[in-house]
Amino acid sequence: MSSLSSITVATLTKDIRLEWRSRDAINAMLFFSLLVVVIFSFSFDPNAEESRQIAGGLIWVAFLFAAVVALNQTWARELRNQVLDAYRVSPAPATALFVAKALGNFILVSLLEALMAPLFMVFYNLRALGPAWQLIPVALLGTWALVVNGTFFAAMSLRTRSREIMLPLLLFPISIPAVQSMVEATRIILSGDGSARFWIVLLLTYDVVFTTACLALFETVLQAE
Amino acid sequence: MKRVFPIFSILTALLLVYAFYEAIWVAPRERTMGDVQRIFYYHVPSAWTAFLLFFINFVASLQYLVSAKPSTKRAANGILIAIGLVGAIAPFIPMVKQQLPSGMYPSSVATTVLAIVGLYFLIGKWFSGQALDILAVTTAEVGVVFCTVVLVTGPIWARPVWGIWWTWDIRLTTTLVLWLIYVSYLVLRRFSDSSQTPKLAAVLAIFGALDVPLVYFSIWFFRTQHPQPVIGGGGSIDPRMLHVLLINWLAFSCFAFLVCWSRYRLENLRREVEEAEAMASLHGVTQ
């Protein structure tokens, strides 16, 4: 167990250090979601009440698209110099690598959300009418739902031609229930009509089910070649 | 085997003609919807067939993944037997019995669970290794075709009856998401040309199967507009209509089986040719 956690921490620190020094992914994601915010607000031009209804959808669609940028880069780094092959022949457990990559993406996408959320609030005149603290579990669970499957499918699409386009094609259909839960929960909290509990529980279920599936099947995907 | 195929094709064709005649001329005209209701004889059998094919795809993918190692295979067999036992006994326990929705009988639940477990073991017995993967490709492709028929005939019926082409209702949305998942499954197969395609595709099929119940629950929260299932859902149907429906279902199942059969043979031959070509180039006797 200690080797599992130490390998996880080592890979995670390495990834974060690499990202901190280059800031490739985070800059691309930030600029991309900024563009989405601006383009959406030109296309809809909503008033405060309307934006409460649609903002949940806009925010999460923007983050979903931006997350794909980071997810596509996850494994690309390891392909250079055959790092992934080295990992495959080493006795290190595959799950440690997966957990580290998923956590790295989680931190990256959460950081993006923390930076972009105030901007959304300003551009769309948002003020939560429901319990605003519930947005935090929604954001954390929702982000994990996106990145856990995203990291897994990014590893899967490594073996395909044109893998950059393959990732969203695999990820989006499977993410539909998660995206719907995030959007609905956010809409309910912002507009203050009803309770978002059902959606948060559904998100939690989604996270538990797919985290288990990813951990169970990652070894198969990593060794597939 | 070679002689059975044409005989079965002819029988299926005759059955389809008979089912068409029954659906268009024999079945009574629906009182409020009129003739447009007859699309139901194509819509519902296609839906049943598509779901069955997707389910077989899931079982074949599961078998393919677990049979890679003897230890996982034993574990999976144990789990499946446990599910079968629990599913066969639990519905008859009074506490569980009360929880079942009305119209769902304990015996039918037990039979369904046992049938699913039985299908798992039958597929594991009849197919192994590459054959499981060929079965998975076949059922996914044919399933997508039938699912497309469902998604096309549905709106054609809905437009005159509901006044709208589409609504984000539980059954419609679940079917659409299922279709999307299986299209992405076929795209993955098309785009990955390594020898590990079967493994990756099987993994995706498992993810898809895990996703479907979640999609179902996420939409279950909204009001549902689709007519209740006519069989086992508390709805009622004229016995003559039911008769026509079942004949159509039989005809479409035979048709699906026939298409799957020929697709299976085709895929098998394609792989044999590929293998032979690879062997030939190894021996240096390429033309």
Give the ipTM.
0.85
Between B177, B203, B210, which is nearest A156 by CB?
B203
**Cβ atoms of residues B48 and B29 within 8 Å:** no
pLDDT above 90 for A26: no
pLDDT greater than 90 at residue A102: yes
Q: In the prediction, which pLDDT does A225 show? A: 61
User: Residue A141 pLDDT > 90, yes or no?
Assistant: yes
Which amino acid appears at position B185 of this protein? Y
Task: Identify the pLDDT of residue B232.
Answer: 46
Cβ-defined contact of B200 to A205 (cutoff 8 Å)? no
Spatial CB neighbours of B261, under 8 Å, sequence gap ≥ 6: B5, B8
Chain A, 185 to 214: residues with Cβ < 8 Å from chain B are: 198, 202, 205-206, 209-210, 213
- CA dist A10 and A167 (Å) reads 26
Identify which of B182, B231, B164, B199 has the alpha carbon closest to the alpha carbon of residue B67: B199
Q: Does A84 touch chain B (CB under 8 A)?
A: no
Residues of chain B in contact with residue A210, where contact means CB-CB under 8 angstroms, are 207, 210
Q: 3-class DSSP state for residue B34?
A: strand
CA distance A224 to chain B (A): 6
* Chain B, nearest residue to A222 by Cα: B200
Residue A220 has pLDDT above 90, yes or no: no
**B24-78 residue pLDDT tens:** 888 877 777 777 788 888 888 999 999 999 999 999 999 999 888 888 888 888 8
Q: pLDDT in tens for each of the 287 residues of chain B?
A: 678 888 999 999 999 999 888 888 888 777 777 777 888 888 889 999 999 999 999 999 999 998 888 888 888 888 888 988 888 888 888 877 777 766 667 788 888 888 888 999 998 889 888 899 999 999 999 999 999 999 999 888 888 888 888 877 778 888 899 999 999 999 999 888 777 888 889 999 999 998 888 887 777 665 555 665 555 444 567 777 888 888 898 999 999 999 999 999 999 999 999 889 888 888 876 55
Asked whether the beta carbons of residue A177 and residue B214 sit closer than 8 angstroms, the reply is: yes
- The Cα–Cα gap between B13 and B10 comes to 5
**Phi-psi label, residue A192: left if phi above 0, alpha if psi -120 to 50, beta otherwise:** left
How would residue A164 be classed by pLDDT, with cut points 50, 70 and 90? confident
Which residues of chain A have a CB within 8 Å of the CB of B193? 160-161
Residue B194 has its nearest CB partner, among A169, A172, A225, at: A225
Q: What is the pLDDT of residue B29?
A: 79
B210/chain A closest Cα distance in angstroms: 8
Of all residues in chain A, the one with the smallest CA distance to B182 is A173
Domain ranges of chain B: 4-26+38-67+128-260
What are the residues facing B34 on neighbouring strands?
B30
Cβ burial, residue B251 (10 Å; 0-12/13-18/19+): buried
Interval A117-144 mean pLDDT: 86
- Whether A70 has a pLDDT exceeding 90, the answer reads no
- Find chain A residues with C-beta within 8 A of B217's C-beta: 177, 202
Query: What is the rounded distance in angstroms from the CA atom of residue B239 to the CA atom of residue B230?
Result: 11
A60 interfacial to chain B (CB closer than 8 Å): no
Is B196 in Cβ contact with A224 (below 8 Å)? yes
A50-64, A90-104, A174-188 — which is least confidently predicted? A50-64
Task: Give the minimum alpha-carbon distance from B5 to chain A in angstroms, rounded to a whole number.
Answer: 36
A45 touches chain B (CB under 8 A): no
What digits encode the pLDDT tens for the residues A11-23? 899 888 988 888 8
| Per-residue pLDDT, B234 | 46
Best of A149, A180, A198, A201 to mutate (most B CBs within 10 Å, chain B): A180
Cβ neighbours around B107 below 10 Å, total: 10
Q: Please tell me the distance from the alpha carbon of residue B110 to that of residue B136, in angstroms, as a whole number.
A: 26
